[in-house]
Amino acid sequence: MTVGSSCMLADRARSSARVRLERIDQHCFIAYGSSGEYLVDLREMSCECPDFRYRCGPGDIPCKHLIAALRENNQWDAYLAGLQRGPAS
């Protein structure tokens, strides 16, 4: 992970505070952002927003909706710890 992506991650983590979530089940949420509402799935680590589809690939940094959902499920710290460990080798 580069310095650039960790700055972006910090930005998104801040933006995620403004995302409102509605829980569907243990892993799925509807996220209401400033630009629409999107389905977030923590099992797939996916989100329907354009930001996620066009800018976040697998293993890339998550969008603010995913971050908000991870926080809601108390999985954010574990997710960050995983990033800092880097890919398993």
Rule CB under 5 A: which residues touch Zn ion? Answer: 47, 49, 52, 63, 65
- Between residues 70 and 86, which has the closer beta carbon with respect to Zn ion? 70
3-state secondary structure of 30: strand
**Least Å from the CB of residue 22 to Zn ion:** 14
**Least Å from the CB of residue 48 to Zn ion:** 7
CA atoms within 13 A on the CB side of 76: 20
CA 47 to chain centre: 8
- Between residues 25 and 56, which has the closer beta carbon with respect to Zn ion? 56
Q: 3-15 and 64-72 helices cross at what angle (nearest 10)? A: 70
Q: Which amino acid is at 14?
A: R
**Least Å from the CB of residue 41 to Zn ion:** 11
- Between residues 59 and 86, which has the closer beta carbon with respect to Zn ion? 59
